[in-house]
Structure 1
């Protein structure tokens, strides 16, 4: 028995030293891991071994750096011109776009147009029509790709395109789409000539556990058609009913169809993921999108474990700091870091209208508890909180002053901040921002507004549970 105690003590000390040696951890994250190690004897060490470090290893990091350098080399004018930023972006928001560009080198490019999709059927109808009209290539990447109506319709459109000679590349995540990979539908795509790839496949789980983390995932949702059209938003290749978690549905998403130079930037992002998974030549991806008359400036903002740590919460914090009048955010998963919480409160305290929209019923009880632990502080600062009741609000949206919009795959939780590869488009356009903001108002109309009185009436056991979960929030 004494030997077991000595062994446990040695393991806890070893992991504690490792945690203390990590310069990339904030004090709150270190404390959270110490708590896990102490309150879960033995098991806590296993949890840290499996999930403690978002690290792709030296080989993975080197590969990512080389890919980023290659993307910057071949991207050329499609990456945008930093010197043109003052002529494209209002001076109040230039710091926001500069910061976004500092992450992956994508600068604002002018001449883009966009159409906000009305609903899931409208999205699928336009996407299938674009694929059926494709003459050169179709590239599709989704974290979750199901064999339901939506997923099958997209796959069948790719099959039709491949059979008529269009180069089709389809990519998905090994965990998010584990049911599709190897299925009859997957095989049918391959037999039709669709080129297939899997990000972070699960066929070598023990190797993954020893060299990285099994929950490092590609959470992106990208479709590029003929290098002239791209779709960006929160929707996976799945029906709104979302069969794996049907009782939380419908999933309420948002998608935008873009044309213009922003398509080339999304193409480069897709290419970086494809080449990382397959080793193909990145120069085989056409970059042909040209500015459209009267279009607006936009840029891709991508994040992931091989990018600078803290990029997404810092970007949102800067958006809050640059806002003149209002900021509205919708997200299904809200487990913020200290940077973002302080920015939300600071913006509200100085008079900015800060509106947050979350789902009333979350598919993760842990995330829901952590989210609600912040309600009292946010409400006391003056933020408006709404919980959507019409399903699981999955739309990830940010609007600032009815001028700036960011839309894409990033949630406001630690998974999106540190573990997932994400894609977003940041833009300045009052017309599109007003349409997105109108959609946000629709979400609010279907929500229950949370006030401070309601939060103060929550029973003690509920508040204790929420705060316990929030304490280990940095490791969720």
Structure 2
């Protein structure tokens, strides 16, 4: 009787795996093998982690929030884009709805401490509001500096709102710093609260996270990049330190798009209607400023959004493509796009950290080295810490910067935010930062990869086989 029930349940789960929309064949096969080989654990694993499900109530709430807000397409007057690049910004708009807007300026901060110093200075100068969203906020030196600046701003009458991921920022939430912010009048919210894991699983998949890093100040200033609110020493994973990040500080109409994104997230998790903020006058376009666009993705948004954005940029490259990412777990189309770039003569360079904080991702990433190197892609491994920057520069004029990694978690499970821009000056600044990474990296050769011992190759390829379900 028990065996019959188990076989029926197993058949139903396999049917669900086959019928579930938006799942690539490799993922279907991997889950079917797990369910068949590990009858009990496989079933439990699929029921808990097999589907990108945020929960019906949460989806309904997000839909209600979006219905009360202005359309993303209204966040700025569309800018003229060169014909050769128009398709890239169309892809970006198809993902999250924001148009390409002109009149923006940017300043690059390539050092974690410099970014915090710049952010604290902007908070000190804020007159109306400060909005912060971080995946990880630690109660360390830099985390405390930002919290104390927020508390001072709130006490002088600036409206300050802080939204953090419930898992990523758990150390802050449990610290006295969180209570200090509340007592100072800083408004707080937690994204994707977990609560009791068993009960939380009933409301949706537990490992969906808000991985975004958003700063918006007085409608006019916004930040975008890879850095969490923490020291470069990153005490929760100190043995991989320093964590090397890069952030851009923008002024101009693109700030309104990040404001819309923050408001959407805030109203999804806090009982406060901020729609009025989105009807305020637009930030002033700077004379001679450049075109930029927020590209935001997540499990409740369009499927395969970030892979499509990455692939579009890679296929659009004609001369040079430089990418930095800490986590590379591609789908087949992304891997093929990079190989195609190398094969058609685009000087394609991708930089990974030499030491990764995730052993499974590190092994999976290296399983793709041989194919990339054979296609002429240059691979470097950064040796100055954990390179956490997520950047892409193309042909010296297009940049993508933000929170999204080139892995399946960023593609399917995380809420991410990025900014796509067209400007030779801003791209040159980021390209110079990438050059610093390259100077501290060692080249990986095809001969070296082919000489790896058999047990290492087996482990890397085994991790890659499991990657569709990790």
- Give the TM interval when normalised to the shorter protein: over 0.9
Q: How does 1:295-444 map to 2 (within 5 A)?
A: 295-444=289-438
Name 1:49's counterpart in structure 2. Answer: 47
Change (3 A) 1:382 1:106: same
Number of aligned residues: 468
> Is 1:285 aligned to residue 277 of structure 2?
yes
Deviations 1:370-404 (A, max 9, x none): 10111111111111101101100000001110100
The alpha carbon displacement at 1:308 in A equals: 0.7
Does the 8 Å contact 1:252/1:391 carry over to 2? Answer: yes
Does the 8 Å contact 2:18/2:28 carry over to 1? Answer: yes
Change (3 A) 1:76 1:455: closer
Deviations 1:201-250 (A, max 9, x none): 12243332013111111000011111111111000001000001000010
The alpha carbon displacement at 1:181 in A equals: 1.1
Residue 236 of structure 1, aligned match among 225, 228, 233: 228
Name 1:31's counterpart in structure 2. Answer: 29
Q: For 1:347 and 1:71, how far apart are their aligned partners in 2? A: 40
Greater alpha carbon shift after TM alignment, 35-44 vs 395-404: 35-44
Gaps of 5+ in 1: none
Q: For 2:18 and 2:326, how far apart are their aligned partners in 1? A: 32
SS at match of 1:42: helix
Deviations 1:153-206 (A, max 9, x none): 111010000000100001100000111114211011001100000001122433
> Is 1:195 aligned to residue 187 of structure 2?
yes
Q: For 1:308 and 1:372, how far apart are their aligned partners in 2? A: 29
Gaps of 5+ in 2: none
Name 2:267's counterpart in structure 1. Answer: 275
Does the 8 Å contact 2:110/2:433 carry over to 1? Answer: no
The alpha carbon displacement at 1:61 in A equals: 2.7
Deviations 1:423-458 (A, max 9, x none): 000000001101101111111111111110000001
Name 1:222's counterpart in structure 2. Answer: 214
Deviations 1:343-373 (A, max 9, x none): 1111211111111110000000000011011
> Is 1:63 aligned to residue 61 of structure 2?
yes
Residue 213 of structure 1, aligned match among 205, 219, 238: 205
Give the TM-score taking structure 1 as reference length.
0.95
Give the TM-score taking structure 2 as reference length.
0.97
SS at match of 2:36: helix
Greater alpha carbon shift after TM alignment, 234-243 vs 115-124: 115-124
Does the 8 Å contact 1:72/1:105 carry over to 2? Answer: no
Greater alpha carbon shift after TM alignment, 143-152 vs 45-54: 45-54
The alpha carbon displacement at 1:76 in A equals: 6.7
Root mean square deviation of aligned Cα = 1.5
Does the 8 Å contact 2:55/2:205 carry over to 1? Answer: no
Q: For 2:46 and 2:56, how far apart are their aligned partners in 1? A: 19
Does the 8 Å contact 1:228/1:263 carry over to 2? Answer: yes
